[in-house]
Amino acid sequence: TGKEMTLTGKMVCGKCVLHETRQCMNVLLVPENGTTNEYYLAQNGVSKAFHKQICTTSGEQTTVTGTVAKKRGKEILTPTKIEPVK
């Protein structure tokens, strides 16, 4: 459905940091062309396993590989791999 991409940005909690989601979930903030795009990570095992590292923090620079699809006006990223930027 979506195309495979690798994106790097700041991973934050959609509820605790952005106050945009009802429940805690990963959101990748990617600076592109002078604006910041928000990629909401699908709640799969890869995403859930990483979430505890960034929930209630100010976020972490992260590289995410996965497929992106638009759903209800939001970019939904289904991750296959999440790695902190060293």
Task: Name the DSSP letter for residue 2.
Answer: -
Residue in this structure with the two tokens 């600076």, named with its chain if needed: 31
Residue 82 located in a structural domain: no
Give the model's pLDDT for residue 65: 98
Residue 32 located in a structural domain: yes
Residue 65 located in a structural domain: yes
Beta bridge partners of 8: 63
Residue 86 pLDDT level (bands cut at 50, 70, 90):
confident
| Segment 21-46 mean pLDDT | 96
Residue 55 located in a structural domain: yes
Domain span at residue 71 reads 3-75
Q: How many domains does one find in the chain?
A: 1
pTM, 2 dp: 0.93
Contact 64, 29 (CB under 8 A): no
Query: Radius of gyration of the chain from Cα atoms?
Result: 12
| Segment 18-28 mean pLDDT | 96
